[in-house]
């Protein structure tokens, strides 16, 4: 055989040695089983910890197994508070990786120590699985708590209430409190002034001239839970943050920084409002304005917080409820 023919046949052997079908261990596109397979519950709903104490950093998770990946939803409902925790996912297994509950809530109020009903439902299936568990202790949130009103009003606070009609300015107790049992109730009709009532919360109420916050305004978050009556839409809550820029222990009007948050109550029921300290603005009559003092957000120089409840004097009766004022670090409060 000539050399070129030898080379040719060698090439034939070489190119055909690669022939042979290997199938990839992954498939392309979504799972056909998920799209068109029959749904079945292989293992029913179970709870890893039926008596869970979130105050001791315990968690609990839910388990179940299905024949295919489905969109599922777990709803935990506090039977006393009415609080709801929603966990959703798309999988064929519920386990600690995708169905763990740490005591947090999806919609206020926060869970209490109470019995909870669990309901597992599916987006495209009619099945519903149910169970219950008991919360022995509620989740503890890290942060500097201004007040949750469980022990009444801080004696170091000052307040002013207009002498209008149907005035309310007091701590009240209810199962519907977003946290604990108490909240602060503010309301009344003041037809000559926007201001209905105010509370001054000086740093001295917590044992020091200024609030015990860090120097980093991007790390400090102010959080408050406010309630809006479905029938009223005229309430405005204004929070003012006065800084002691020059460190003389007092706030000097028109000299030192005062930042504000103006909250127009819009969502019915309880809502959580959070704001990063660095995002606080100088407001003059509700409009952003140039800084009054050095213009530097200095949370460690925060001297006093004031909460003012306002309403248009011609709008009649105004009302809100307030609870759980807390500074958190690194991010807003995640209830």
Q: Which residues bind other proteins (CB under 8 A)?
A: 1, 4-5, 7-8, 11-12, 15-16, 18-19, 21-33, 35-38, 67-68
Q: With contact defined as beta carbons under 8 Å apart, do 87 and 73 qualify?
A: yes
Nearest to 96, CA basis, from 42, 29, 48: 48
Query: What are the CA-CA distances from residue 159 to residues 10, 155, 162, 186, 301 (Å)?
Result: 98, 10, 10, 12, 22
**Is 21 or 124 the residue whose CB approaches other proteins more closely?**
21
Rounded to whole angstroms, how far apart are CA atoms 197 and 161? Answer: 4
Residue 26 C-beta: closest distance to other proteins, Å: 7
**Is 16 or 192 the residue whose CB approaches other proteins more closely?**
16
Number of Cβ within 10 Å of residue 186's Cβ equals: 26
Please count the residues of the chain.
335
Residue 62 C-beta: closest distance to other proteins, Å: 24
Residue 71 C-beta: closest distance to other proteins, Å: 15
SS3 287: strand
**Is 67 or 159 the residue whose CB approaches other proteins more closely?**
67
Helix (H) or strand (E) holding 16: helix 3-17
Residue 70 C-beta: closest distance to other proteins, Å: 13
**Is 31 or 173 the residue whose CB approaches other proteins more closely?**
31
Nearest to 279, CA basis, from 300, 261, 303: 261
Residue 43 C-beta: closest distance to other proteins, Å: 17
**Is 15 or 287 the residue whose CB approaches other proteins more closely?**
15
């Amino acid at each position: 055989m000539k050399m070129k023919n030898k080379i040719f046949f060698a090439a034939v052997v070489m190119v055909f040695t690669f022939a042979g079908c290997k199938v990839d261990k992954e498939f392309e596109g979504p799972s056909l089983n998920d799209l068109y397979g029959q749904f079945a519950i292989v293992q029913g709903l179970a709870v890893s910890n039926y008596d869970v104490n979130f105050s001791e950093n315990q968690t609990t998770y839910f388990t179940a197994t299905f024949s295919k990946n489905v969109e599922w939803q777990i709803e935990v409902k506090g039977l006393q508070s009415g609080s709801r925790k929603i966990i959703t996912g798309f999988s064929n297994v519920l386990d600690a990786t995708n169905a763990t509950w740490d005591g947090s809530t999806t919609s206020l109020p926060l869970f209490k120590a109470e019995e909870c009903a669990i309901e597992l439902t599916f987006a495209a299936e009619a099945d519903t699985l149910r169970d219950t568990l008991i919360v022995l202790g509620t989740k503890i949130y890290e942060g500097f708590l201004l007040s949750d009103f469980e022990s009444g009003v801080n004696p170091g606070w000052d307040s002013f209430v207009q002498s209008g009609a149907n005035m309310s300015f007091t701590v009240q107790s209810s199962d519907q409190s977003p946290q604990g049992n108490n909240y602060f109730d503010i309301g009344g009709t003041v037809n000559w002034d926007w201001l209905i009532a105010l509370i001054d919360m000086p740093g001295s109420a917590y044992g020091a001239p200024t609030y015990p916050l860090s120097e980093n305004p991007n790390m400090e978050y102010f959080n408050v839970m406010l309630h809006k009556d479905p029938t009223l839409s005229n309430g405005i809550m204004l929070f003012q943050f006065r800084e002691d820029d020059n460190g003389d222990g007092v706030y000097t009007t028109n000299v030192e920084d005062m930042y504000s948050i103006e909250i127009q109550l819009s969502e019915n029921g309880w809502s959580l409002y959070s704001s990063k300290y660095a995002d606080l603005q100088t407001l003059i009559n509700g409009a952003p304005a140039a800084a009054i003092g050095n213009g530097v957000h200095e949370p460690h120089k925060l001297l006093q917080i004031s909460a003012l409840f306002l309403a248009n004097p011609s709008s009649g009766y105004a009302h809100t409820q307030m609870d759980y004022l807390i500074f958190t670090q690194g991010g807003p409060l995640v209830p």
